[in-house]
A and B are shown apart, each in its own frame.
Chain A
């Protein structure tokens, strides 16, 4: 595992400015925001965007979001651009979504082509006996804008599935932030199946909607477009963000003892480098470990119906009090509170 690997980081320029960023720019300009103020500090010029070859980093995109929010002072910005994000106009990747034969295929393509379709938020798909779950994580640690990005991303998927299936699908939403003042925006753009203050950001719906055929799709065009999308991915500086790769690695190894040194080794870098990379994304090792454990614990609770004893045993906790404290740190809930929440 000592090969040299590279990752997308918050300052890697890989997002075409005329993809997702331009939907936000267009909306802001249409609402009368001054172009100069909107682009201020983002290192972007409108003429560059028009040329169609400008790539920007996650940091620049987040700066743009920050400016737009300050200039627009409206509660619905995230939802309005979310409606436009998918399938969007991102070349083959968008075609691949547009011609998905059913919801499952669309979600799988969204996950596979994530850096092109949803560059700042990473969706992860999980199917269990009854439900399809789509979990969302920050790809680059966008903390002040992460609520905005969650709102936009969840709206994007629910709007896409409504458009292509021709009906409003019964998505339910678990949101990790507290209920905001502008709850009415959630009602209108996402629906009324909402829960705030949850351990993770995820949305789910019954499995029966996954395989219902979508009539307008062309299966062959979709498959060709997906292949082209994968070629576009191969041309990126790296296939995934460092936070995403680390998360997947931690989740896969969650039952073994996990130490920073050993993981740095697996990622072919020194512990100091790994620490520095995490710090650059506003995080640290313990936080990433807690996040991975929270993800695994929630999957066990929600999808496999585990009790707290089972979860503690699965994660190698021998001491009950220890597990209570740990679960509180990962999810914000004690085991007893969590069972009420699940019930």
Chain B
């Protein structure tokens, strides 16, 4: 467990070690150069406003750098952003040092150290943000069927790469509003595994969790461009289908049931096949709000499950 955690956190900072070392060395080099050539100013000559302003900005840039390196995997875009922010930091840091150290008039290089990296930093940062934008478009494509229009990381599900019930409610309210404006139908499909608690009891929670992650991928593969999949709770998923009538939604629900029945899932421990089946119900919005629509589906789901039990004794 401990090891796993270390592995998850470690590479993010270690892979940036060299970058941080270079920045640290450059800042030190500038400082030493100033101290070698100049004299430390007497206390009454310190301009506190400048010190607070420039020092504070340099400090905040360090915070940005730290957040950037902690959150982003290494790569082209990260390097650009790092170099941009690093140049800005260096330039501001030299400004701060300048407040404490008086250089003789014949020294010219200090102006270069203060003002040179600034435009370079801005150019690098701009390039970085531009490529970040391109990267985001690529990620959005990967997030297709899992996210629509807006992102709220607090509403990510903890287990599957999907939005949770709160995200679903928000998106459903939005979709219902859109549909009403455009006078187009919108449908919702609810999918629930049969006998999922049995899997948890017999194979343990980890297997159950893994199965849910596999199922998520399986369901995603069956969706159209604009459908949105969320995890409602436990082994129950909900799908928002914009511009879709009830009959078409029912077709998709049936397809999902078939696709899950044919999924040859193997347990992680002994690799034996688990025979899976799911119940999927569909409903079209008929002027109801998100909550009543979900409730209607829940009752339909309960009825479908009862039928299942009657059929199988």
Residues of B149-198 at the interface with A, using a CB-CB cut-off of 8 Å, are 158, 165-166, 192, 197-198
- A185 at the binding interface (Cβ < 8 Å): yes
Pick the interface stretch among B23-31, B44-52, B231-239.
B231-239
B309 contacts the other chain (CB 8 A):
yes
Q: How far is the CA of A79 from the CA of B294 in the complex (A)?
A: 20
Given A159-B197, A188-B192, A79 and B209 contact (CB-CB distance below 8 Å): no
Q: How far is the CB of A169 from chain B (nearest CB, A)?
A: 11
Tell me, yes or no, whether B302 is within 8 Å of chain A by CB.
Answer: yes
Q: How far is the CA of A187 from the CA of B300 in the complex (A)?
A: 12
A340 CB within 8 Å of chain B: no
Contact assessment for A83 and B197 in the assembled complex, using a CB-CB cutoff below 8 Å: yes
Q: A29-B1, A163-B201 are in contact. Are A188 and B206 (CB under 8 A)?
A: no
Distance in Å: Cβ of B199 to nearest Cβ of chain A: 11
How many angstroms between the C-alpha atoms of A184 and B238 in the bound complex? 11
Is A185 a contact partner of B233 (Cβ separation < 8 A)?
yes
B-side residues, CB < 8 A to A, are 1-2, 5, 158, 165-166, 192, 197-198, 200-201, 205-206, 209, 232-236, 294-295, 298-299, 302, 305, 309
CB of A182 within 8 A of CB of B209, answer no
Instruction: Tell me whether A191 is interfacial, beta carbon within 8 Å.
Output: yes
Q: Which residues of A contact B236 (CB under 8 A)?
A: 184, 187-188
With a cutoff of 8 Å between Cβ atoms, the chain A residues found around residue B2 in the complex are 35
Chain A residues, CB < 8 A from B166:
181
Whether A27 contacts B205 by the Cβ 8 Å rule is yes
Shortest beta-carbon distance, A49 to chain B, in Å? 14
Extra A-B contacts (14), CB below 8 Å, given A30-B209, A184-B165: A27-B205, A30-B206, A34-B5, A76-B234, A83-B197, A84-B205, A168-B305, A181-B166, A184-B232, A184-B236, A187-B298, A188-B233, A188-B234, A188-B236
- Name B158's closest neighbour in chain A (CB-CB): A74
Cα distance A149–B6 in the bound complex, in angstroms: 33
Output the least CB separation between A269 and chain B (Å): 45
Interface assignment of A80: CB less than 8 Å from any CB of chain B: yes
Interface flags for A144-164 (1: CB within 8 Å of B; 0: not) read: 000000000000000100110
A4 within 8 Å of B by Cβ?
A: no
Of A27, A35, A184, the residue contacting B1 (CB under 8 A) is: A35
List residues of chain B with CB within 8 A of the CB of A79. Answer: 234
Q: What residues of chain A lie closer than 8 Å to B206, measured between beta carbons?
A: 30
B35 to chain A, nearest CB (A): 43
Evaluate contact between A76 and B205: CB separation under 8 angstroms: no
Q: Does A189 contact B (CB under 8 A)?
A: yes
Cβ–Cβ contact B197 & A182, under 8 A: no
B3 to chain A, nearest CB (A): 13
CB contacts (< 8 Å) of A167 on chain B: these are 309
Report chain B residues within 8 Å CB of A189. 233-234
Cβ A32 vs Cβ B201 within 8 A? no
Tell whether A75 is near chain B: CB-to-CB under 8 Å: yes
